[in-house]
Chains A and B, each alone.
Chain A
Amino acid sequence: MRHRASEQGDERAYIFLPDRGGERPLLTFAGLYARALAVARHLAGRGEPGDRAALLFSPGLDFIVAFFGCLLAGIVAVPMMIPRRDSRRDASRAILADCAPRFLLTTRELLQANRPDLYDRLADVAAAWVFCDDIPAEAGGGAAPPAEPRRDDIAFLQYTSGSTATPKGVMVSHGNLLDNSEMIRIAFGNTRHSTYVSWVPLYHDMGLIVNVLQSLYVGALCVLMAPVAFLQRPLNWLRAIHEFRAEVAGGPNFAFDHCVRRYRAEEMAGVDLSSWKLAFNGAEPVRAETIARFVATFARHGFAATAPYPAYGMAEATLLISGGRRSEGPRYRRVSRTALQRHRIEPPRREEDAQTLVGCGRQLVGERIAIVDPQSGRRLAPGEIGEIWVAGPHVARGYWRNPEATRATFAGRIAGEEAGSWLRTGDLGFVDAAGELFITGRIKDLIIIRGINHYPHDIEHTVEASHPALRRHGGAAFAVVDESGEERLVIVQEVERQHRQSDLAAIVAAIRAAVIREHDIAPYRIVLIRTGTLPQTTSGKIQRGLARQLWLAGALAVLA
């Protein structure tokens, strides 16, 4: 940041496009540095290096200033989603308890004008509110600039893993961030002319690292818009790509389908997407049909068929784990769907059996990817499906103050190989003879909806608490793929024996409302079943995978 401020200080670093148009806030590289320094001096006078600061910001540039202010002061930043207005239990409470911040950074505008309810909600958090819009951006004076951080110092905590009850904060160090940023720069082929346009939330690892931090890393302009603005008017994202001649823009798979569904020729008149060289697609499974539809719809606007860039990553590896080379275009494999369900790669037997897998790129520079049998720890050969393991300088040290979860995830050992810790991703896949990585499934019980991770346990807890007729520890939440290829939530829940004559429709409605309120997911199907029929192991552990198979086969004891 300091380098950019001195080399290209007057150039535009960040621009925010407000939802309804009008004046666009702008930060130059020099401006960013000056404002971040002011925040850093304010924090340094009131806390110790290593203290945490939770960041609660509406979409906009203030978050970026605050984030860098923390890094400059040696304060560990914890980006957070603003708690939803109407939800009672949400992750923010547990995250704040886990990271125990000294500061809550926000703006007066958010807290006083938009969300005064947050004061009460967070009243019991023993942290000081800091209003970044109150801190004057002085040009100089005040305390000396803080000391340079070391590579191993934690820069920030990413809480995209872990359930509401047990959140897990990935400890991303300055070293991790620099190394993954370099890997991304090489894989994406980014330069200071690689203008970005992004709508992905900044508290999401993809929004922060691939967009905001990468653009700074290479000295490029990053244009931002709010996630809700994208959802409402997705074509505005494309129009911004045209206006700023952006090279790089992307999001989760659903975003591309969303643009296709909302396509209106009159809104796209004159829009030229030929500058868009890299359309990254990650955070949830990438679908071949989605890419095909998007290319077909937007080719007439100059969108190149070689621009789609499927990628794979996770917060535990800072962000990016695999990606291809710019303008190569995606790689596909047609395989047998039935064989895939048995975790085998075979050619399709008939047309109806064919499924097209999309490659997510290759191992990055300085990284190692291994496909490993999760039971035996044995390394597998190309073409064999196993758990994806990752090693490299971008892999984080572990989870904040959670040695058990850290050991379970970050201490993978490959059988017969010398000591070395591997990150166990919990995702299944294979590498082909050319080194292309394909994701085929998940071992971990994780549900991904619109690029956001959800933990079955959290949802099951919400469900069983939503109505007195529901049996405690008698429910399973899992994901299925619907007719349009999207991942959707299915809930299976036992009804207490004495309640099975109750108004089942009312119970279903109560479950639906609770899941929407607490998790903002509209369940695809809610299935009420007879007491004691949910598959469980002898030790009482819910078997979600088996419940899913039984539901798909129509073999559950369904009441409603």
Chain B
Amino acid sequence: MTETPSESAICEWCVAYLSRTLDLPEGPVDPHVEFTRLGLDSASSVHFIVELEEWLGLELAPELIFEHPTIADLARHLARRQPRTGPERAG
């Protein structure tokens, strides 16, 4: 990933990923509802961040979920991040 995707692309990806993994009877997740209301506990937050990292090719801190507590907020924040030249892995 050499270019950060657009805010709406990130939003769509998150909605698709969380709808699939959270397996809620109500259908696809609402990007304006807080993560805790959607059903994300700290372990699944970590999994979510790891998957997002792999897709975006960026390193992300788990605290992002606290600071941007909805999919819409998170997507907006990430779309503004500077793209890296290549995926980075922790040590």
Contacts and interface: CB of A to CB of B under 8 A. Distances in A.
Contact of B40 (A19, A20, A510, A516): A516
Contact of B43 (A20, A85, A231): A231
Contacts of A86: 36, 66
Given A231-B46, A232-B62, A520-B42, A509 B90 contact: no
A255 to B, nearest CB: 11
B89 interface: yes
Given A516-B36, A517-B36, A236 B91 contact: yes
B90 A521 contact: no
B7 interface: no
Contacts of B50: 232-233, 262
A267 B89 contact: yes
A233 B39 contact: no
B91 A522 contact: no
Q: Which of B44, B46, B66 has the most CB of A within 10 A?
A: B46
A512 B50 CA distance: 23
Interface in B20-43: 22, 26, 33-34, 36-43
Given A21-B90, A233-B90, A228 B66 contact: no
A516 B41 contact: yes
B44 A522 contact: yes
A228 B50 CA distance: 12
Interface residues of B, number: 21
Nearest to B66: A85
Contacts of B37: 509-510, 512-513
Interface string A517-560: 10011110000000000000000000000000000000000000
B23 to A, nearest CB: 9
A505 B39 contact: no
A236 B90 CA distance: 9
B49 interface: yes
Interface in A58-96: 85-86
Interface string A218-229: 000000000010
A513 B90 contact: no
Contacts of B89: 267
Interface string A484-524: 00000000000000000000010001101100110011110
Interface string B29-72: 00001101111111110100110000000000010001000000
A19 B90 contact: yes
Nearest to B60: A232
A522 B38 CA distance: 9
A534 to B, nearest CB: 21
A512 B39 contact: yes
A522 B21 CA distance: 12
Nearest to B33: A509
A522 B46 contact: no
B30 to A, nearest CB: 10
9 contacts: A232-B90, A233-B90, A236-B90, A512-B37, A512-B39, A516-B36, A516-B40, A517-B36, A522-B41
Interface of A: 19-21, 85-86, 228, 231-233, 236, 262, 267, 450, 505, 509-510, 512-513, 516-517, 520-523
7 closest cross-chain pairs (CB), A and B: A21-B91, A513-B37, A522-B41, A231-B46, A516-B36, A513-B36, A522-B39
